Amino acid sequence: MEQRLIDNWYLPETVKPALLFKRLTRKFGLVHEPEVRRQITYCDSFDWRIFANGYLLTCIGTAWRLHDLHTGEVIIQESGPTVNKGCFAKAFQSGELRQLLTDLLEMRCVSPVASGVVTVQECRLVNKDEKTVVRLFLEQHQMADAGDPRWAVRLEPVRGYLRELAAVRSVLKKYDPVSRPLACLDLEQGSASLGRTPGDYSSKFILHLDPDQTACSAVGVIYKQLLEAMNVNIPGILADLDSEFLHDFRVAVRRTRSGLSLIKEVLPPAVVEKYKEDFAYLGQVTGPTRDLDVYLLYEDEYKARLPESLQGGLHSFFENLAALRIREQRTLVRELKGARVKGILSSWATYFDSGDEQTAKFADVPVIDIAKKIIYRRYKRVLKDGLAINEQTPDQEIHRLRIQGKKLRYAIEFFGSLFSEQDVATAIKRLKKLQNYLGDFNDLSVQQDVLRNHLQGVRPGSRKNLELGAALGALMSNLHREQVKARGDFASIFGKFSSAHNIALFEKLFTCKKESR
């Protein structure tokens, strides 16, 4: 079988390529191929989904390549769109690459994260018959705004000429071997010049608190991290790259609001009141655009719910939403650039940096005590509310339970690092199952409300509106049927959540000794 040997060495600055070539001419003839110079762009989503899955995505003009992160080998090579500030998987022609990107990126787009120039000079080493026995590639990688170029030598063996390969290797062995693909180093170097590091952002909320920390300093850590998440997402929202920037921003806002109302008497009440109001305002100004984003993301799913003959009717519905979204986005940008939003975010940051003379009742209590109390209280509430729900309870109560579930989830996420990692992961996993159900159930009824509202605004008369009406009607009945079915599942889903061993887990994790007695 063919031997696939990847030989890569760095060429030190002190060694000029000419010197290396001279050394090789003692044993081989050298045939230089023309130098190839290429502008290369590395792309990834804002949350590094390509990188996190062990790939690298590069683009030279319209030629896109997906590399293995660890070997640098090209896995897929296809032509695609010209790179611009944001490319969605949809912009690629259908093929292997598009499929993979669709799965990895979902609603996210890829943007340039590094760029530079790669120059490759191929040199064929030939024997006395002028037969190529080894291929040598001299590469120069110069990333934009990133200091000195990097030189490297790569060998490609020719089958059946192992002795010659060994001879070239022995010439090169005194240089440092390249342990990681140059493409990977390019990405790191290039993204660093843009102030980023691969994998530096994830929408996951990961905190490290210390149980002995005072409650006041712990909430400082929590709120500062959430504020950071808001700030890093703002440029993406303003540029309107994809819907996730706004989503992540809003999640951070919601978590902050939740924190302010859940964690009582750690910050001074006046501060809490002010920022509760301020963050409510942030939630409010970002709401309309996000709502429309959600519906626009439903487009394919909605179509799949309808028979083909009715799908056309949805076209004007989504067109309408898209036009509305453009208007809302404009308002949103104006708000985010406006004085009030900027004021809220900067004063919140300075509040933690400057330190407050006023203190609250529990400010200096160890965080673990507060954490247990808050989480356990939330948990009991979810349990109580959930158990009160039976088949006759109105849907409204299920929605309330969803809110309670969310509060519990946030509370666990704030303080999760204080408890056993595995137990917390299990607790979250079980809660998540309930939450997913509640979320889906809520979505089904909210969606029906929105469609009903839209339908009320549709005036009869035109053919187009008739088709739209038919499509919306069909969609509503489809959603309704699903909701009715989902309602029937409540008992079994909540039954699992409130099972004895689940209760034991939560009690073990979050009860204070005093309470458990």
Site of interaction with another protein (CB under 8 A): 1-2, 124, 129-132, 157-161
CB of residue 129 to another protein, shortest distance in Å: 4
Q: Which of 51, 33, 18, 40 is nearest to 151 (CA)?
A: 18
DSSP 28-51: SEEEEPPPEEEEEEEEE-TT-HHH
The minimum distance between CB 130 and another protein, in angstroms, equals 6
Min dist CB 303 to another protein, Å, is 38
- The residue among 124 and 373 lying less far from another protein, judged by its C-beta, is 124
User: CA distances (Å), 495 to each of 38, 388, 390, 406, 407, in order?
Assistant: 61, 12, 11, 18, 20
Residue 454 C-beta: closest distance to another protein, Å: 52
Q: Is-contact 261 297, C-beta < 8 A?
A: no
- Cα angle: 224, vertex 229, 234; to 5 degrees: 125
Tell me whether residue 128 or residue 174 sits nearer to another protein (CB atom). 128
Distance CA 336, CA 346 (A): 12
Minimum distance from CB of 141 to another protein (Å)?
23
Nearer to another protein, 129 or 357 (CB): 129
The residue (of 135 and 290) whose beta carbon lies closer to another protein is 135
Work out how close the CB of 132 gets to another protein at its nearest, in angstroms, rounded to a whole number: 4
- Closest approach of another protein to the CB of residue 244, in Å: 38
Contacts 24+ apart (CB under 8 A), 486-491: 486/437, 486/440, 486/441, 486/444, 487/395, 487/398, 487/441, 489/437, 490/389, 490/398, 490/437, 490/441, 491/390, 491/391
Task: Show the tokens assigned to 295.
Answer: 């519906």
CB-wise, 156 or 443, nearer to another protein? 156
- Return phi, psi of residue 209, to 5°: -110, 160
Kindly tell me which of 116 and 157 has the beta carbon lying closer to another protein: 157
Token pair of 396, please? 């409204």
Tell me the C-alpha distance between 219 and 474, whole Å.
48
Distance, CA of 167 to CA of 420 (rounded, Å): 56
Cβ proximity to another protein: between 130 and 357 the closer is 130
